[in-house]
Amino acid sequence: MRGTACWPGDVWGDGMAEQVGIIGGGIVGIALARELTAAGAEVTVLEKESRLAQHQTGHNSGVVHAGLYYAPGSMKATLCAEGRGLLREFCADRSLPYRAVGKLVVAVDAAELPALAEIERRSRANAVPDLTRIDDPGRLREVEPHVAGVAAVHSPQTAVVDYAAITEALAQDVRAAGGRVLLHTEVTGIRIERGRVRVITRTGAHLFDRVVAAAGLQSDLIARLVGADPAPRILPFRGEYWMLKPSRTGLVRGMIYPVPDPRFPFLGVHFTRGVYDDVHVGPNALPALAREGYRWRDVSLADTWGSLRWPGAPALARRHWRMGVDEISGSLVKALYFRKARRFIPELAMGDLARKSGAGVRAQAWGRAGDLLDDFAVDQVGPVTVLRNAPSPAATSALAIARYLRAHHLGSPAAR
């Protein structure tokens, strides 16, 4: 018997393959399901929404990061490099769009040069392919004809993809290999019983040998269901995008990024030419008022109160209030958002930002001291593995995260 739906009290069946439940149908959960079905496990994915990739995976910048920013040796650095290669191969195999449009990280003035030098140092340590440093504004404009700046690093292999389409294609492999993907299946409880795991959903219960949660914005709530430490908690950060008017998309060839503020784990408002040739501008980074708060009016008192009461809240507010005020003003007043974007493209006019084109909410974990976790983080509670912090570049890294979880947390899943 596989990890089939059964009500509490049903008899656990005996099968040859290990039965693994995966909570979350974003790119990480589905990539792991594919990895484990290929290894012979019997896998069931439990996803609360009516479709896959409805949260972070379907609301992001679509960038395949080349590894410029991450601390050398960190999980982000190693899994991003491995994941990028696997993703490129997967897209080629499945004829999915993968366009290496290239990225320029631009220092607009001399004050940003030390931070740019650190990005260059990290990029070289992370073996970012074909990276070059540009110190001549004329040469900058050979890469991006409309950009203004004093220096940049150029990563020609940074690419764009459609992560929702990739997730669907990965899910096809899961189903073809006998795995199950259950939609409309929200997990509400988890109990460890004699070494096995009973997962309770709104539509029934399931028994598994092991469970892995890749639940993004809800990952800390899932961790609590299995009795893990409440820290780190998820602090949802909304990122809003504008589109460039179709007649003005010629202002951007590939990607134009700012030099990021090293005190903050986000990359700053940037220009990205997507796989369908649209150019979006964003995302900013605002505290969201709900875990799945895509608009200002999406408010969850429980989520907001939970964040305000978190022990690290005063420290975080003290450290980042200035940036918070800046980001909130930019969200409410288009002219302020526009001013940030125009630093990089002086020709940009306010009317070129056509309309807000949606938003994503980042699942960023923070600790009790108000620290924003930098690296990916995984908790293990008996037979349950919870991926607790998987923000950017986890979409780029998903296929490598799947391999990592299999090797380090799931052992050999086919052998029960």
Ligand X SMILES: Cc1cc2nc3c(=O)[nH]c(=O)nc-3n(C[C@H](O)[C@H](O)[C@H](O)COP(=O)(O)OP(=O)(O)OC[C@H]3O[C@@H](n4cnc5c(N)ncnc54)[C@H](O)[C@@H]3O)c2cc1C
Q: 5: helix, coil or strand?
A: strand
Cβ distance to ligand X smaller for residue 31 or 348: 31
Q: How far, in Å, CA of 302 to CA of 316, rounded?
A: 19
Phi and psi at 348, nearest 5°, equal: -65, 135
> Least Å distance between CB 23 and ligand X?
5
Q: Does 186 participate in binding ligand X (rule CB under 6 A)?
A: yes
> Least Å distance between CB 239 and ligand X?
3
Cβ distance to ligand X smaller for residue 119 or 150: 119
- Interface residue with ligand X among 212, 226, 361, 386 (CB under 6 A) is 361
Q: Does 399 participate in binding ligand X (rule CB under 6 A)?
A: no
Q: Does 283 participate in binding ligand X (rule CB under 6 A)?
A: yes
Pair 377, 385: CB distance under 8 Å: no
Q: Does 67 participate in binding ligand X (rule CB under 6 A)?
A: no
Q: Does 284 participate in binding ligand X (rule CB under 6 A)?
A: no
Pair 359, 240: CB distance under 8 Å: yes
Pair 190, 199: CB distance under 8 Å: yes
Cβ distance to ligand X smaller for residue 91 or 151: 91
Q: Does 306 participate in binding ligand X (rule CB under 6 A)?
A: no
- Interface residue with ligand X among 104, 252, 341, 395 (CB under 6 A) is 395
> Least Å distance between CB 225 and ligand X?
8
> Least Å distance between CB 32 and ligand X?
9
Cβ distance to ligand X smaller for residue 23 or 171: 23
Question: Interacting stretch for ligand X, rule CB under 6 A, among 56-64, 111-119, 228-236, 251-259?
Answer: 56-64
Peptide bond into 283 cis (omega under 30): yes
Q: Does 400 participate in binding ligand X (rule CB under 6 A)?
A: no
Cβ distance to ligand X smaller for residue 151 or 288: 288
415: left (phi over 0), alpha (psi -120 to 50) or beta: beta
53's tokens:
């990739």
Cβ-based neighbour number of residue 148 at 10 Å = 17
Q: Where are the alpha helices (DSSP H) in 150-230?
A: 163-176, 219-225
Q: Dihedral through CA 185, CA 34, CA 67, CA 379, nearest 10? A: 60
336's tokens:
């302020």
Q: Does 122 participate in binding ligand X (rule CB under 6 A)?
A: no
Q: Does 29 participate in binding ligand X (rule CB under 6 A)?
A: yes
CA-CA distances (angstroms) from residue 58 to 257, 267, 362, 396? 21, 19, 12, 13
User: Which positions lie near ligand X, rule CB under 6 A?
Assistant: 23-29, 46-49, 54-57, 59-63, 65, 186-187, 214-218, 239, 283, 360-362, 390-396
